[in-house]
Structure 1
Amino acid sequence: MPADNAGPEAQLLKGTVLIVEDESSLATILAGYFKKAGFGVTVTSNGLDAVDMARDDAVSVIVLDLGLPGIDGIEVCRRVRTFSDAYILMLTARVEEVDELIGLSVGADDYLTKPFSPRVLVARVKALLRRPRNGANHGTAGNGDSSDSAVAVGDVTIDPPARTVTRRDTSIALTKTEFDLLATLASQPGRVFTREQLMEAVWGGPAIGDDQLVDVHIGHLRKKLGAPDGSGPKIIQTVRGVGYRMEAG
């Protein structure tokens, strides 16, 4: 199904939204809200079809239901991530935190738990599309300036311009959200960033998301940056009651 013509705002944000939802009534409602906001919209209820549709270069954001029949949202996300860097916002009717963690760990950038307001969903998508893409500057939380130089902390090196992270010369694969969060912390090693500042830098503002998103992604980063034997520096430190900081190299 071809996407509808995008309006001026969607053209500015370069946003065509692929909605993958097997509840037809909900899919229709969401499509209506996105069209009203000026986005191009494509809808499918089938996970396999969604993978094929995601190959369209016009798709910038995928709104992906976790509980699809056939291959579920987790598998769709895994497959899409092998060839596309489109932003993925996952929808789930399950309140258990494990579903949120699994969804984010396979490459989703954000999530919403049902029931939710369609207006909030549209706001989240707009925030995703305003975030820096590959090759853009990062780390603009608060009054901080983005870093154009690689940062080394122990045996971990973060290179914001190249969007690469290595440990002991081994590349570490991060999602866009994980890298954006790490690059923000790396822009000023030693500085304490509040959760609100991190939400502003990575998700577009605290009104768009919730603090748990920061904690979930920090947990993923720590796992990916940690040595298999548990040795090495814990480069992301928790400052209780405030937020997080990256240890200075």
Structure 2
Amino acid sequence: MRSEILRSEASRGDTAARPQTIALVDDDRNILATLSISLQAEGFVTRVYTDSEAALKALLDNPPDLAIFDIKMPRMDGLSLLQALRAQSSLPVIFLTSKDEEPDEALGLAMGADDYITKPFSQRLLVARIRAILRRSELARAPADAAPDESLPETVVRGRLQLDPARHQVSWQDRPVSLTVTEFLILEALAMRPGVVKSRNQLMDAAYSEDVYVDDRTIDSHIKRLRRKFRAVDPEFAAIDTLYGAGYSFTDG
């Protein structure tokens, strides 16, 4: 089934040189229409897809600023779509889930989703979370030759880890590691103070804005994914420590 694209040239909400684009993937046309109209009213451009396979191709060929996936879809569900996308892209993704899909939420976060919203939800909450993730992803989308933000620290070196906050780039033993925006912010919070245990609440504060609320398992899922990504580069990676009941710390020689 071909994808459908709805566009809005409205400029309400945050002003920017280029309207930000949100891709919506759901097999329910009514939900797509409702979400698209609401987001257009906030100044976003929307692209809507009822077919996950068509959506995947479009997301890779012409990436939006953020994507929102429903989990339960025929042929390729939201989790499979995210898995296929993450093999090639760190595009910010929000999942829409039902209250009875909690295991899927945890799996989605472990696979690299940046956030999830449980149905039914308020449009205000959805827009707040979209804007929070887009703010965090702006640096990651900066051109490679753009001048660094002078307010940001220079490249941070912690043993074998190198973090470049101005570019949102990470390397381990001089090998690049591709992280989502949320993963980068969590790692940065840990690496800026090596050996200091950060509680889950502190990591939530570092990775999410004040108007976004997540629970402990969200941070745990991101930590698991961080470890998995670094171990893909170095099977002996063990720089992120767990202090049970307290939180996490970063230590590397």
Q: Choose from 238, 244, 248 the match for 2:248.
A: 244
Between the aligned partners of 2:123 and 2:250, the Cα distance in structure 1 is 36
Give the CA deviation at 1:200: 3.0
Q: Gaps spanning 5+ residues in structure 1: where?
A: 137-144
Counterpart position of 2:79: 74
Give the CA deviation at 1:94: 5.9
The answer on 1:110 being equivalent to 2:100 is no
Between the aligned partners of 2:181 and 2:77, the Cα distance in structure 1 is 22
Between the aligned partners of 2:23 and 2:232, the Cα distance in structure 1 is 37
The answer on 1:180 being equivalent to 2:172 is no
Q: Could you say what the CA RMSD is over the residues aligned between the two structures, in angstroms? A: 3.2
The structure-2 alpha-carbon separation of the partners of 1:170 and 1:93, relative to structure 1 and needing over 3 Å to count, comes to same
Letter paired with 1:80: L
Counterpart position of 1:9: 13
Give the secondary-structure state (helix, strand or coil) at the position aligned to 1:86: coil
Q: If the length of structure 2 is used for normalisation, what is the TM-score?
A: 0.76
Q: Choose from 119, 128, 139 the match for 2:133.
A: 128
Q: If the length of structure 1 is used for normalisation, what is the TM-score?
A: 0.77
Give the secondary-structure state (helix, strand or coil) at the position aligned to 1:159: strand
- Asked if the contact 1:146/1:184 (under 8 Å) is kept, the reply is no
The C-alpha deviation readout for 1:161-207, integer Å capped at 9, x for no partner, is 4612325x6654433322221122112223343434432332222x3
Between the aligned partners of 1:78 and 1:239, the Cα distance in structure 2 is 29
Give the secondary-structure state (helix, strand or coil) at the position aligned to 2:13: helix
- How many equivalent pairs are there? 236
Q: Gaps spanning 5+ residues in structure 2: where?
A: 143-150
- Asked if the contact 1:14/1:129 (under 8 Å) is kept, the reply is no
Identity %: 32
Q: Choose from 189, 208, 212 the match for 2:212.
A: 208
Q: Choose from 162, 165, 180 the match for 2:171.
A: 165
Give the secondary-structure state (helix, strand or coil) at the position aligned to 2:35: helix
Counterpart position of 1:22: 27
- Asked if the contact 1:10/1:39 (under 8 Å) is kept, the reply is no
